[in-house]
């Protein structure tokens, strides 16, 4: 059972990484058209599903090996980074996308700071994945 849940957790990591990377590519132009905003909204849905998937499978894994994880600094750093990425995604990037969505058709929105935040998110998610690999190797 542990291997199945771990495999599902890894798939969730892939979904998260794909969402962040794809979003970064879209916002690199620094202006968003209505079409780009629509695509980002769909991608956000997958990001939310991926994060939920990560939380559910992560909780199952945590309770299977609670003693090891509670005392692991790597685990708590990973959790902190996961939460930080969620804050960046929802409060910074998400708000910019909502602003762009509210524009009238045909207009674009300057989102010059979003690529920096998207790159930060990519680095954080990649670090979370790498820390997860180190954690599993430590077991």
Per-residue pLDDT of 39-90, as tens digits, reads 888 898 999 999 999 999 999 999 998 988 999 999 999 999 999 999 998 8
Look at residue 128 and tell me whether its pLDDT is greater than 80. yes
Helices 94-101 & 34-64 angle (0-180, nearest 10): 150
- The CB-side HSE value for 118 (13 A sphere, CA atoms) comes to 26
Q: For residue 29, what pLDDT band results from cuts at 50, 70 and 90?
A: confident
Report the alpha-carbon distance of residue 134 to residue 118 in Å, rounded: 24
What helix, strand, coil percent values describe the chain, rounded to 5?
85, 5, 15
For tokens 């956000």, name the residue. Answer: 44
- In this prediction, residue 106 carries a pLDDT of 62
Claim: this prediction has a pTM higher than 0.75: yes
Neighbouring-strand partners of residue 85? none
């Amino acid at each position: 059972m542990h291997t199945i849940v771990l495999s599902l957790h890894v798939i969730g990591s892939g979904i998260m990484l794909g969402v962040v990377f794809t979003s970064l590519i879209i916002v690199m132009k620094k202006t968003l058209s209505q079409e780009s905003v629509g695509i980002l909204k769909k991608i956000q849905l997958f990001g939310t599903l991926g994060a939920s998937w990560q939380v559910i499978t992560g909780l199952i894994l945590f309770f299977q090996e609670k003693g090891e994880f509670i005392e692991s600094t790597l685990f708590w750093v990973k959790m902190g980074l996961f939460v930080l990425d969620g804050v960046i995604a929802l409060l910074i990037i998400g708000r910019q996308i909502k602003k762009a969505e509210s524009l009238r058709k045909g207009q674009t929105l300057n989102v010059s700071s979003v690529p920096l935040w998207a790159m930060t998110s990519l680095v954080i998610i990649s670090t979370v994945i790498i820390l997860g690999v180190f954690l599993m190797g430590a077991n």
